């Protein structure tokens, strides 16, 4: 930074302004998301996945979503028409979510699983021999025991990530989760619901050095008539990429102004207005 200032200091005011505006354009362009290292274009990889001393694939790394993954934040991404197989209770729960609940994550409540797997934000995996940790933005995390002999509890305490058990199935790390909360939870960013009967089975693989992939089976007989799948691939971050502190409650100005639901959902399954009203006319350009 000091060196940058020294170099920039040699130029004229006009050039400074040019640099600033150029940076702004860059910063605000659609490419800005990628520029921040949050998502990334896909890459070809010829390197095999690394392995730990015990021979398993090492899933450790800082993982960024592929830029082409769409619609992000929609758990129905892989279903025809992005249509979820709601039961009547599930349909009612969805209506309740969009008309009477504020996005729990925007209130600094953990998104849980499978929502975090549908997020646009990067995450980090730290893998040990008998535990694996997933670290997320907002300073959330989950630590999963890897033990094929361990069984689910008879009556697990409900939680946002559920009671998670890990085991290896060949080169796939399988995480089987039950025991979820049924209040202040959205299964994704589009306000789709899940109940306390949610059962999630994630199969994590590292097909090569530069990619991590999950195939997810989602069952929730209270809210969905059948199980469905959610699959996604992420690309390895750059050297030095790491998570930072992100204290969600520090200055959450939005919490008192957010409305119920996620806002409009477009036909392509993404969130947002289809068309924005035009802004006021631009001001005359000042020389």
Partner 1 sequence: MMMRLSLAFSALCLALAPVPSALAHHSFAAEFDGNKPIRIQGALSRLEWTNPHSWFYVDVKDDAGNVVTWGCEGASPVALSRQGFQKGAAKLGDKLVVDGYAAKDGSHLMNARRIYLNGKLIFEQTGEGQ
The structure tokens listed for 159 are 């939680």
Please, what is the minimum distance in Å from the beta carbon of residue 120 to partner 1? 4
Choosing from 5, 80, 155, 183, the residue that interacts with partner 1 (CB under 8 A) is 5
**With binding defined as CB under 8 A, does residue 50 bind partner 1?**
no
Helix, strand or coil, per DSSP, at residue 63: strand
**With binding defined as CB under 8 A, does residue 112 bind partner 1?**
no
CA distances from 20 to 28, 30, 33, 283 (A): 12, 18, 18, 20
**With binding defined as CB under 8 A, does residue 268 bind partner 1?**
no
Contact yes or no for 131/145 (Cβ under 8 A) = yes
CA distance 11 to 2: 15
How remote is the C-alpha of 269 from its chain's centroid? Answer: 16
**With binding defined as CB under 8 A, does residue 238 bind partner 1?**
no
Query: What burial class does residue 126 get, using C-beta atoms within 10 Å of its C-beta: 0-12 exposed, 13-18 middle, 19+ buried?
Result: middle
Please, what is the minimum distance in Å from the beta carbon of residue 216 to partner 1? 19
**With binding defined as CB under 8 A, does residue 100 bind partner 1?**
no
**With binding defined as CB under 8 A, does residue 20 bind partner 1?**
yes
Residues that bind partner 1 (CB under 8 A): 1, 4-5, 8-9, 12-13, 16-17, 19-21, 23-25, 27-28, 30, 32-33, 35-38, 72-73, 102-103, 105-106, 108, 119-121, 138, 189, 244-248, 250-254, 257-259, 261-264, 271-280, 282-283, 285-286
């Amino acid at each position: 930074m000091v060196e940058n200032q020294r170099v920039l200091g040699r130029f004229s005011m006009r050039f400074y302004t040019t640099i600033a505006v150029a940076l702004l354009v860059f910063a605000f362009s659609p490419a800005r998301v990628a520029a921040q290292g949050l998502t990334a274009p896909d890459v070809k990889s010829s390197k095999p996945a690394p392995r730990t001393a015990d021979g398993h694939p090492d899933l450790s790394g800082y993982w960024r979503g592929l830029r082409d993954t769409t619609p992000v934040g929609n758990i129905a991404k892989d279903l025809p028409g992005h249509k979820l197989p709601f039961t009547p209770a599930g349909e009612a729960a969805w209506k309740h979510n969009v008309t009477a609940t504020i996005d729990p994550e925007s209130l600094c409540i953990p998104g849980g699983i499978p929502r975090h797997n549908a997020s646009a934000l990067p995450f980090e995996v730290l893998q040990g021999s008998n535990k694996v940790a997933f670290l997320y933005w907002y300073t959330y995390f989950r630590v999963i025991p890897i033990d094929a002999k361990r069984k689910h509890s008879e009556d697990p305490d409900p939680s946002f990530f559920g009671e998670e058990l890990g085991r290896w199935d060949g080169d796939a790390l399988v995480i089987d989760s039950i025991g979820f909360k049924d209040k202040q939870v959205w299964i994704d960013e589009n306000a789709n619901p899940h109940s306390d009967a949610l059962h999630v089975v994630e199969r994590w693989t590292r097909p090569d050095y530069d990619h991590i992939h999950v195939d997810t089976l989602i069952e929730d007989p209270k809210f969905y008539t059948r199980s469905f799948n959610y699959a996604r691939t992420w690309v390895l971050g750059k050297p030095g990429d790491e998570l930072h502190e992100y204290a969600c409650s520090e200055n959450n100005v939005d919490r008192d102004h957010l409305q119920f639901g996620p806002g409009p959902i477009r036909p392509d399954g993404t969130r947002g207005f289809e068309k924005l009203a035009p802004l006021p006319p631009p001001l005359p350009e000042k020389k």
